[in-house]
Structures are given as C-alpha cells and as structure tokens.
Structure 1
C-alpha cells in the first residue's frame, strides 16, 4: 500500500521488532499507532502515536482499535507483532504456562484481528500482517509450545486469507529466524526442569544463544515489513536470508536431511 495517509497499527510496539517496525514505517511516511500495555513507559519514537493495548484483554483491544479509528478514521494495516516465548521440555510444561503463551501468540492475534476486520471490510481495503517465525514451519527442541503457537498462527492466517480476500483484505505471514531481541535473548523458561532432559536442554540453549548472537537486528525484520506493505502480495514472507534458506530446505530437502541438520543446529546428538 502507498504510504500517503495509510494508517498502521502495530501491536507490541514497545520493544524489539514492534518498536523497530513502528519507527521504520513512521519514518517512511505512514501514520503509525503503536499498541503498548503501558504508554507512559514506552520509549517514544518520532511520528508514532501510542495507544494502551493489552492483547490478552478483549476490552483493552476493542478500546484501542476504537481510539485509532476515532483519531484516524480507519485502520489500513495491522501488524500483529505482540508475542511471548517459552523454552523447556514439553513434558515439563504446565497447563498454565501453555495457556499463557497461547493467550498472547494465538488468541491475542485473534482478538486484534476480529477488532480491526469490520473497519477493513467496510472500507474494502486492508492488510493483516502476522509475525510468525521459522518455527511456524519447523520444529525446535525445547521450544515445542512456542513452535506450536506459531504453527497455529500459520494455519489461522492462511485460512483467514481465503475468507477475507473478497472484501479487499489480505493476510501476510512474516517468518523471521532468530533476531537480536529481548524476546529471543530472555525467553521465559518453564518453572520445572526434569533432570532427564537437563544435559540436552543445556546444549540446545547454548546453541540457540550462539545463533542469537550472530542473528540480524530487529531492524532487518522491520525493513522486510516495509517492503511487504509497499510491494506485491505474497502470503509467506521469510524475513531474512537464513529464514529463506530454511523455508527452501523445508520444502525441497529430504526429511531425514532436514532432521539431521536441525538436531545439529540445536546442539543435539544425532
């Protein structure tokens, strides 16, 4: 979409990819609203207007979307970026931990999308950009619940795109690999750690930390999102070179080769 007068809402805009995206789009001339839980504590970015939004709360989401529409008249693009992570063995993950993660990564996207779609349908124009991950199409040891939430997001997004395109609305999945953000660096760990998994878990976490240290900054994803909103439509959009390679391998490499490569990348014995 052209940037003249285009209204963008970015969720989770206080840090990481959300902050970088809000800054990048505002700098490119878009009218950007940043959804944050605590606007008074947000590090303000030039050209970004902040609105209070907790994606885990229906009323908060509805109020934030209404406020943006009241101020700007519409929402042309929503970027569902707000997310949380969780690392630890699947066996050690509690129901409460799993529910909390899905409440943000899946139901949070659902709440925001439901809130913006009526306006987009009425205007016969809109773009829903959902921030997924390479773990939306690949497994990851000790990140099973996070990967599951991103797999769910991919299915939700692809189904939704079929439903809304008749109204001039499309859905895009952005699939980054690891980024140098607090979400990846300071991922929450399961409260329980079973001794049987401890050695493999430590090896995996160390391998991931090394990948994060070599990963691109969040601005790489932000620039990809800018190219997406400006360019031709495509549903799945790997956000960086590593993500593009992994997407290619997942589709075309023999499954045994992919499995072996993934285990090596996560520090596990074959």
Structure 2
C-alpha cells in the first residue's frame, strides 16, 4: 500500500487531497503546523503529524515518524496581496521562507530516500499567477515562480534516478484561506495611487460566478501526478487554471 505525505493539510487543497488519497486506499501522512485529526475521517491508514516547513528540526521529526513514503506533496504555503513598493520586508521574507525555502527544505529531506530507492514522486503545488504578470501579488508570485524553476531543474536531475517531479498550478479558489491569510499583509488602501487597484482586486476575488478552482480539482490533479507515470510535468487544476494555461502556453 503506497504512502503519501502532504504538507499544509489543515484546510483547502491539502485537506481535500488527504481525503481523496484516503478514499483511494492509500496510507496518508497529513501534516500541519497545529495538528487536528478531527478534520479528517477516522482511518487506520491516516497519520496526522505536526510539521512546520520553515523548521528543519520539525521536518526531521515528522519524517522519522512517517517512515517510508512514496509521494511527497509540497502544498504548504500562504499568500499576500500588496504592492511591491509597500510590502513589509518581514512579510516578503516570510513568503519566501515558507513558499520557496520551505519547499526546498522538504525536498532536501526526502530526496535522499527517493534517490537511494530509485523511485518516488515529488508534487509541488504552485499557482497560475506564475503564468502571467498580475498586480499586487508580485512577491507571492515570485516565491511560487521560484518553486516552478526549482522543480524544472529538479525534474531533469531526478529523471535518470527514477524519481518523477510534477508541479500543480491551481487558479483562483473560494475554498482556501488565501484571502484571509493575505489580508493582514495588505497595505496601500490609504495611498491615492494604489487604492483603486487594491479595491478592484478585492472585488474581483470576492465576485461570484465565472470559472474558479475547487479544492477537489487540485486533489484530482495531485492524484493524477501521483498515479500516472505519463502525467505531464505541469498540470493545471481548475477550470480557470486550464484556461490560463491554454492562453499563456
């Protein structure tokens, strides 16, 4: 029975992915900074562990408890919507520390196992905002675009060693905490130049209708990457994500 380890399972994409893999009969190691077993169905195949991707000691403890895994899903991350000029340096550092360096830390912890066995699958969840420039998400976009670039090189390095690498790119989703997590970092509503831009972005994010990405779309894309050796390296997740990828190539 294969085992998947998923980071960031407390809500949204990670939570839905953990549920899907459990339904499919996999062993699931669901990790989150503050573990909550009550949000997932009871199962002998489920292990819930604390894991902070910005803390290498936390990563080491979680992997020691997880045992052998076959698939790593790097899903943990957060967003911030703020003009590049105004973003707090600490917030920018935190974005890269979590989204980019946290992914790198997980890779460096897991890859020796996969490389030794000459098998394993890495799935990095990034974002369709990396596909074209958008206002107010420049630093978040950069942190995720860095993961895309990292994944591209990693795929080349790992191919002769039997390890598959994929990226999953979700679109705009009303089912995640992106908006709530981003709001504390918001700056510029008191700036005459940036206020209209920010208000327009908030309205667009909250508007109903039109294509969006549902958490189940992301879970399905991750399942495809995990189970189909012929799956493409880059997988769009969600109707809007598929449209964006088609438009940008």
Measure, in 2, the Cα distance between the counterparts of 1:41 and 1:26. Answer: 13
C-alpha distance 127-159 of structure 1, shift in aligned 2 (>3 A): same
Unmatched runs of 5 consecutive residues or more in structure 1: 252-270
Q: What is aligned with 1:238?
A: 236
Q: CA deviation at 1:42?
A: 5.6
Q: What is aligned with 1:113?
A: 107
Backbone CA RMSD of aligned residues: 1.8
Q: CA deviation at 1:174?
A: 0.3
8 Å CA contact 1:184–1:212 kept in 2: the answer is: no
8 Å CA contact 2:122–2:164 kept in 1: the answer is: yes
8 Å CA contact 2:4–2:69 kept in 1: the answer is: yes
Measure, in 1, the Cα distance between the counterparts of 2:76 and 2:233. Answer: 20
Q: What is aligned with 1:258?
A: none
8 Å CA contact 1:185–1:212 kept in 2: the answer is: no
C-alpha distance 249-170 of structure 1, shift in aligned 2 (>3 A): same
Measure, in 1, the Cα distance between the counterparts of 2:10 and 2:209. Answer: 20
8 Å CA contact 1:14–1:42 kept in 2: the answer is: no
What TM-score do the two structures reach when normalised by structure 1? 0.85
Measure, in 1, the Cα distance between the counterparts of 2:180 and 2:5. Answer: 26
Q: CA deviation at 1:181?
A: 2.4
2:25 maps to 1:29: yes
Measure, in 2, the Cα distance between the counterparts of 1:58 and 1:239. Answer: 29
1:51-66 counterparts in 2 under 5 A?
51-66=49-64
Q: CA deviation at 1:40?
A: 4.7
Q: Residue 157 of structure 2 is aligned with which of 150, 163, 168?
A: 163
Unmatched runs of 5 consecutive residues or more in structure 2: none
Aligned length: 243
1:37-48 counterparts in 2 under 5 A?
37-40=33-36, 43-47=39-43, 48=46
Q: CA deviation at 1:209?
A: 1.9
Measure, in 2, the Cα distance between the counterparts of 1:237 and 1:44. Answer: 26
Q: CA deviation at 1:224?
A: 2.0
What TM-score do the two structures reach when normalised by structure 2? 0.92
Measure, in 2, the Cα distance between the counterparts of 1:36 and 1:137. Answer: 28
C-alpha distance 211-81 of structure 1, shift in aligned 2 (>3 A): farther
